Amino acid sequence: MRRFAFGLGLLILGVLLSGCGLFGAPSPTLGMNPTLSGTVQRWTGTSGTIHAVDMTGDIVYGEGSIDARGRFSLQLDIPGSLQPLQTSEGTCSLKANQENIRYAVSPFLAGPGDEMIVYVDRVDNPSRQAMLFFVNKDARVWNEGNCDQKVDLNLRAGWNWVVADSKASTYRTAFPAGFVWVVSQ
């Protein structure tokens, strides 16, 4: 009976620890040159080249291919130029535990027909969107003051997933479990 109780205790401990991000739980950290792959839901585009781009769509952070069914694979690069993290703006201040943090953000992928492909929590009515966020070194970033959104990021050097939640007005580092790739409307 003691053996059974001990074994059951170890099993429960393992389950609890795996829920805390250990033992293979998904990580929001992707590394320096990760490969993204997936399928774009309800894809009606053509096959061709797909890019990870900045907010303007002008700077390319990675390139891959997408087929006529919406299946894609894309290799992210280390950005050639990074922006300095600004630490104050009006009454809202961005704080960081490191100095000289430089970053890049890719909020969407650009398809072969200029489709804007986003990674969201629901196909029809998304409230959360995952973005790719690159930093030059490990950093914790948060904001204080009179801010429209709450920022709470624990970033590792390289590419990370950051989830923007429009309902909660938050940006946080998180693995986008259950998210789907869709063409933005």
In a domain, 129, yes or no: yes
In a domain, 21, yes or no: no
In a domain, 12, yes or no: no
- Low-confidence residues of the chain, pLDDT below 70? 1-25, 87-89
Residue 55 in tokens: 């907010």
In a domain, 13, yes or no: no
Beta bridge partners of 2: none
Distance, CA of 56 to chain centre: 18
What pLDDT does 66 receive? Answer: 98
What pLDDT does 104 receive? Answer: 96
- Domains identified in the chain, total number: 1
What pLDDT does 185 receive? Answer: 75
CA dihedral 15, 16, 18, 20 (to 10 degrees): 170
What pLDDT does 122 receive? Answer: 92
In a domain, 4, yes or no: no
Beta bridge partners of 181: 40, 119
In a domain, 127, yes or no: yes
